[in-house]
Structure 1
Amino acid sequence: MLQVRNTYRMDKRLFFLCAGISSCLWWPWLPAVDLWLPLAILCVAGWRTHPAVTAFILGVAWVLCFSHWQLSWLKTTHAVDNSHIITGRVIDVETQQSGASRLIVGLTHLQGQALSPAPRILLSWYGHSSPPEPNDTFSAITRLYPPHSLANPGSFNSARWLLGQGITARGYLTGTLTHDAAQPDIRDRLLARFNQSTHGLTTQGWLRALSFGERNGLTPDDWNMLRALGISHLFAISGLHIGLMAGLGWLAGRLTGHYTAGLLTALVLAAGYAWLAGFGVATQRALLMLVVWLSLLWWGRYWNGRRILLVTMTLLLMVNPWLVLNLGFWMSVLAVAALLLLAGGRGRYRLIRLQLGLGVLLLPLVMVLFGGISWLSVPVNLLLIPLFSLVLIPLLLLGCGLLLLWPAMAVPVFQLLDHVFTGLTGGLHWLAGHFSPWSELPATWQGLVLLLMLLPLLLLLPGARWLALALGMLVVLALWPGPAWQVRVLDVGQGLSVLVTQGDRALLYDTGNRFTSGFNMADGVILPLLSRLGITRLDYLVVSHEDSDHSANRHYLATQMPVVHRWGAWARGMPCRAGQQRQWGRLTLQMLWPVSPGGHRNNDSCVLRITDGQLAVLLTGDIERSAELALVGRQPVLQSQLLLSPHHGSRSSSGTGFIQAVSPEWVVHTAGFANRWGFPAAEVEARYRNAGTRQLVTGREGMIHLVAEGAHWRRIGQGRAGPWYQHLATWRETGRNPVRPLE
């Protein structure tokens, strides 16, 4: 009994230590590093009387010190907002579908000054020559920026992703000053042999992803299929694959008749596969759990699965607390926790029950992270997990082993696998294409699904009757009709996109940019937001003019959802002309400019005024001073409570006469974070300030959301939402996080 109690106490302390480290996910700002001292005093004072609370405080203190240690170079070296000569070693290279590359670099010197600790940075390669390879060292001139992400509901949080990878700055390269190529190591030579042996095979990308963890050969269609069927985990080398290798090693070692030989063989094979896959987060977690478990077996001790999981999490987070920012880490941890929860029971159908239960328990996490669910995920996994575990992975690793011992014999193994994977991937693509198993869920429905899944557990709590009543009220509030109409000015970097909605009806003005890397604002911002809002079609898609930061995604969006009316810079659509007027529900759409259709110049931009009779928004595209003057002379009514500043706040626009004619209460500058043009210009800000207009900048604030309330706009949210890692640029400048609008 005493041993059980001590085990429980230790598990409790480990849990609270991990919880303290994980608390940084919700910190609104990064506290000053000096806070570590009072936290340390609290730990010393409370260790005996309140060990769990002390463990939590210790976790908070550790992640606080680690964060300041990793970020200190951004403040002390003036690393950002200036061009520098950098020297570093390439850690990893990711080649994208467009041919562009991204380099993860360990930075050793900045302007000749050695850095400690050596920070990781992410550099986009735009040079005409091939980029440096992993382990190469180089020096180059670049300008670095702190981690920053577009702030829109449903958008990918790149700031969190960067820190979760240990990356504390990003920049771009067009070439190098010096470049010292590294000698290829054993893994590089083995990968080169693999590429040579599989050259010309249709499924080379799939085989390479499953054996070496190199997933650059998979296309966007491949990733969409994996997501649609819920099988991405099969190609992210993790616990399933490491456990399989350990099992094979155990069986092989036991053939010698020695218990220790089985343990060592299991460890060697599992570690070898983790090394082959590049030691990703999931493989680190799985390998560490395996080492702990095998050590206990060798030692003759027994720990339950919960203790092993907690010890593994603690070791990983003590080495790198920022793993809590990595979604892959939580997917791995929660998958193992679900397996431990379901591991009990016996019987013929135990494996099937285990997989079904795992799919159901992970459903909420998948829904929250990816915004939807796949109704085919569980049955497809029931078929594929045994196939991968018992046939495909052993064959693939046999081929990789033969590359070391007898390369010629590896070729027929890979050819056999190519035939299997050709049929398998073809069938999976057909399944995903014909049955469309992936269902995007609006935010409201995600919440309702979570409530329904939690309801059986919540009803077991004391006072469940009142809790059920409270949940019912939440459901009513979630389904209650929203404001009459709303305007969302999206954070699309240096570009423009505005969503106007009334109920489930939507008008989109401009589409943001798309880039040679393959990233585009339609997939990154617009479509996730529309899905989150439950909008399935656009009544109007207005494209102000031809500039790519306004129009680049128009045709792509039209292929992704129905567009009823195409207005503006379209080859086949209704061109903009002053005097056009349309009634759209309770709103009136008034086209004020241009006088004659153009579309190719800034001053040809479509100027659209949307009003309900007492409240109005004026969307101006990129018009400049001459068009503003002509517009003021032609239009008797320009007054609008909300204005999008012409040309992103450029000094060539927003003349005093135009501002007076519009007389806005609010103005939004659609300017990207740290943009090279310096938008909005200081003199433009001064003009609006003198007019008493409240100013907002999307690059600083994120998406601007305003709702109609009578004759005034009410803003939803204040400042850039989110925890401390969303505000690193402001933290670097001031040591504080709040970002206030311009007054």
Structure 2
Amino acid sequence: MVFYARLKDKGQQHLFMNEVKPIVVEAAGKVSDFLPATNLNQFDARKYYHHQKICHAFLVENFHIKGSPPKLSIIDRIHIIRSIFNHYCGRLPETLGIYATGLISGYRPNNFFDEMTGVKRLGLLHIFSISGMHVAYFLSIIDQLMAWLGISRFRKAVIAILFLGGYFIFSGGSPGLLRAVIMAIIGIINRVFKLGFSQLDIWSGSLMINLLILPETMFLMGVQLSYGLSLGLIASEKLSYIKQTVILNLLTVPILLFNIYEWHFLSVAVNLVVLPIFGRVIFPLVIVGVVSGLVGTMLIRPIDWFLHVFNDGLNTISQLPGMVVFGKPSLIIVLVMVTLTLLLAISDRRHSKRIMVGLLLTYLVSFCWIHFPRYGEVTMFDIGQGDSFLIREPFNRSVTLIDTGGKVQFASEAWQRGTQKYQAKRLSINYLKSIGISKIDNLCVSHQDADHCGDLPAYIQEMDIGRILVPLGMDKNPGFMKRIADRRQTTKLLCVNDEMRVVGLPAEIYHPYLAGKGENHDSMVLGTQKGGLSWLFTGDLDRPGELDTIARHHGLTADVLKVGHHGSKTASDPQFISAIKPRIALISAGRNNRYGHPNDETLVTLKQHNVRIYNTQKQGMVRYIYRNNTGHFKTVLKGNEGNLE
């Protein structure tokens, strides 16, 4: 069970962040199920925890601290040591502290991914996921110490096994580490009792034990990488270092593409150089730096400086051209890629060329299948309280995004804010990458509100944007212009009104007609024809604006209406609904939002006009998949879906 609690003050946060010893907390609350992923290809917390036999969350409503536990187990004491170590590393210079926790205790502080962008982009995260390399490194140190002390072979084996068990707990007990620990223990027993097991036997034994203990952890990316790389090491043991490193990198590519959808061409070359440096330079320096902090500070600064330069080098290399947004291949294709790579490792020269050709063709066909789909889609993302819509034409002829979503920041202190600044990176941008999209031709911002364009900087960072379209006059809004200050020089800013016809935009503009600041009543209204249906997107346009729109554009109708202002009663005027004659309404609103969206008055109006409603609160992401003039709706959560009648 996972516990969630909202801290009431900074004192509580300080206690839970800085206390290293166990405390007894009495809590009242309720047991809840994990919310499933509400967007396609979004990280699914329910599945993630279920794979680790964690089925429920406990939502803490109030709690109080009762004191220290009366008795501590060995596991508790190891956790205390880990907590003390992590807090100690938190006081070290920043880069040394991050490397120390990442390589020794397996803990990643909140700023880990901000500082380690190069490690993430270049596919080096496996180095910071405690695994076989770390286990082998520490075992070699323990073995050397015991050899100096003259400890017998059997006692060395017992001590090594006890160390492995303790280190498994100390480093966080990740499922990926379980494979390395089991293999190491079987290997020690094999040597002591001379059982004659091969490395493949040991790997297979570890897999069988893992499947008996925690079978569903095989669905986790870290475990897949752990078993895949260890098998690759066994299969390629007779190859040269360069060939072996290439094979190991090729083994990671399908797994990474299936989970994070992109891969950097330079990752193979970087791994060739970085892996030996880690084993021979970085790891020893980190250990020396950690120990030096206990006895003096003379070596800490130069070690941190070296690590900082090394890390900045990786970050710089990762920004070089070469990042390929591949998309998410099917599971069958991933298995084919992995199988062909393993065959490449064990085949002779005569067969290896054929296998390489087959592997390259598999990648090429999969890439084309993802990037040039025969169908188009109109998608409403579930981004909580906000708006974000995708219009993608068949074969990716045109990609248009209407609004980006974003969090509205209410008055709060720094400690109360989350570490995730832009949720689009894990929701809508994540989905776009999963379907192979790295370029947005048209990014339309309906108006200035943060829940419609707050995540625009994330798109500027992650995507190639052709042009940004805003309502006429919004370029004079300093708050909005600050959001797009870092856009590329090739990204054009275009201010539009209802009299403009924008070449290449697969939609018509129906509002605004006057220049404004980008407030609700200035919202851009877009209409389009897709899949045999007419669509109308109204942003947060209010009732007077709705009536002005139908007055200026006589005969305007739509089969599908994006309900204005998340279903607020300030929009969806009955006269407007009567004139537009929608058959389907799309409502994008956050679950349990403070505004009470969608408003009952709006829902009644839609019901009176026999409009079918798709609501992100109930259906999650809603997609209309179409070819030519026919299509069907699909929802991530169960609810209304199917062909439009």
**TM-score band w.r.t. shorter chain:** 0.7 to 0.9
For residue 140 of structure 2, what is the amino acid of its counterpart?
A: G
Q: Where do 1:360-399 residues align within 5 Å?
A: 360-394=250-284, 396-397=286-287
The TM-score normalised by the length of structure 2 is 0.77
1:266 aligns with 2:160: yes
1:390–1:140 CA distance, 2 compared to 1 (3 A)? same
Alpha-carbon distance between aligned partners in 1 of 2:389 and 2:28, rounded to the nearest angstrom: 36
Distance 1:196 1:674, change over 3 A: closer
Map 1:271-310 onto structure 2 (within 5 A).
Answer: 271-310=165-204
- Distance (Å, rounded) in 2 between the aligned partners of 1:525 and 1:351: 39
Q: Please say if residues 26 and 63 of structure 2, whose CA atoms lie closer than 8 Å, have aligned partners that are also in contact.
A: yes
CA displacement at 1:165 relative to structure 2: 5.3
Contact 2:382/2:621 (<8 A) preserved: yes
Cα offset, 1:238, TM superposition = 1.3
Letter in 1 for 2:374: G
State yes or no: 1:589 paired with 2:479.
Answer: no
Q: Does 1:428 align with 2:351?
A: no
Specify the alignment match of 2:583 in structure 1. Answer: 665
Aligned to 1:163: 50
3-state SS of 2:391 partner: strand
| Aligned mates of 2:278, 2:574 — CA distance in 1 | 68
Match of 2:2 among 120, 126, 131: 120
8 Å contact 2:387–2:403 — kept in the other structure? Answer: yes
Contact 1:697–1:741 under 8 Å retained in 2: no
**Corresponding residue of 1:14:** none
Distance 1:670 1:200, change over 3 A: same
Report if aligned partners of 1:500, 1:508 keep a CA contact under 8 Å in 2.
yes
**Does 1:525 find its partner at 2:427?**
yes
Letter in 2 for 1:379: A
Match of 2:374 in 1: 482
Q: Is the 8 A contact 2:100 2:287 kept in 1?
A: no
Given candidates 688, 693, 701, the residue that maps to 2:619 is: 701
Distance (whole Å) between structure 2 residues aligned to residue 556 and residue 416 of structure 1: 35
Q: Kindly, what percent of the aligned residue pairs are identical?
A: 21
Which of these residues, 132, 136, 145, is aligned with residue 243 of structure 1?
Answer: 136
Alpha-carbon distance in 1 for matches of 2:405, 2:90: 40
SS at match of 1:328: helix
* Structure 2 residue identity aligned to 1:695: I
Q: CA deviation at 1:225?
A: 0.6
Aligned residue among 207, 219, 228 for 1:334: 228
Rounded Cα–Cα distance in structure 1 between residues aligned with 2:305 and 2:366: 53
* Secondary structure at 1:695 match in 2: strand
Q: Superposition pairs for residues 3-22 of structure 1, below 5 Å? A: none
Residue 33 of structure 1 corresponds to none
Distance 1:741 1:689, change over 3 A: farther
CA distance in 1, matches of 2:168, 2:338: 36
Shift of 1:418: 2.5
In structure 1, which of residues 345, 359, 369 is the aligned counterpart of residue 249 of structure 2?
A: 359
- Which position in structure 1 is the counterpart of 2:490? none
Name the CA shift for 1:445/1:322 in 2 (closer, same or farther; >3 Å): closer
Cα distance change, pair 296–449 in 1 and its aligned pair in 2 (3 A): closer
| Distance change >3 Å, CA 632–CA 454, structure 1 → 2 | same
Distance 1:505 1:432 in 2: 28
- Correspondence list, 1:461-476, <5 A: none
2:399 is matched with: 506
The code of the aligned residue for 2:247 comes to G
Structure 2 equivalent of residue 735 of structure 1 = none
Q: Deviations over 1:653-688 (max 9, x none)?
A: 434332221112322121334545554455544543
Q: Measure, in 1, the Cα distance between the counterparts of 2:245 and 2:381.
A: 40
Residue 211 of structure 1: how far off its partner (Å): 2.2
For residues 547-696 of structure 1, what are the structure 2 equivalents within 5 Å? 547-560=449-462, 561-568=464-471, 569-570=474-475, 571=477, 577=497, 579-585=498-504, 587-593=506-512, 597-600=516-519, 602-611=520-529, 615-675=533-593, 677=595, 679-681=597-599, 684-696=602-614
CA contact (8 A) 1:512 1:551 kept: yes
Mapped to 2, the partners of 1:679 and 1:355 lie a distance apart of 54
What is the alpha-carbon distance in structure 1 between the residues aligned to residue 195 and residue 373 of structure 2?
60
Which of 489-498 and 307-316 deviates more? 307-316
CA distance, structure 2, for counterparts of residue 551 and residue 530 of structure 1: 17
- Relative to the length of structure 1, the TM-score reads 0.68
8 Å CA contact retained: 1:615, 1:708: no
Task: Name the counterpart of 2:23.
Answer: 136
Output the CA distance in 1 between the equivalents of 2:337 and 2:105: 40
Does the 8 Å contact 1:206/1:217 carry over to 2?
Answer: no
Code of the aligned partner of 1:507: T
Give the match for residue 719 of structure 1: 635
* 5+ residue gaps, structure 2: 70-75, 345-350, 410-416, 482-492
In the other structure, the counterpart of 1:30 is: none
Distance 1:640 1:145 in 2: 40
Give the equivalent residue in structure 2 for 1:178. Answer: 64
Q: Residue 639 of structure 1: SS of its match in structure 2?
A: coil
Kindly provide the amino acid, as one letter, of the partner of residue 549 in structure 1: D
Contact 2:442 2:465 in 1 (8 A): no
Deviation at 1:124, TM superposition (A): 5.7
Q: Which residue of 2 aligns with 1:493?
A: 384
Q: CA shift at 1:242, angstroms? A: 0.7
2:344 corresponds to 1:441 = no
Residues of 1 paired with 2:86 and 2:565: CA distance? 52
Equivalent residue, structure 1, for 2:348:
none
Q: Does the 8 Å contact 2:550/2:576 carry over to 1?
A: yes
> Counterpart amino acid of 1:542?
C
Partner Cα distance (2:193, 2:330) in 1: 50
488 and 364 in structure 1: CA distance in 2 versus 1, 3 angstrom threshold: same
Larger mean CA deviation between 543-552 and 149-158 belongs to 149-158
Mapped to 2, the partners of 1:481 and 1:391 lie a distance apart of 47
Residue type of the alignment partner of 2:459? L
**Aligned-partner Cα distance in 2 for 1:643–1:676:** 24
Q: How many residues align?
A: 588
SS in 2 for 1:617: strand
2 CA distance for matches of 1:391 and 1:476? 41
Q: Does structure 2 retain, via aligned residues, the 8 Å contact 1:160–1:326?
A: no
- Please tell me whether the aligned partners of residues 385 and 593 of structure 2 are also in contact (alpha carbons under 8 angstroms): yes
Q: Distance in 2 between matches of 1:651 and 1:196?
A: 54
Instruction: Output the CA distance in 2 between the equivalents of 1:387 and 1:637.
Output: 69
Q: Which amino acid aligns with 1:590?
A: I
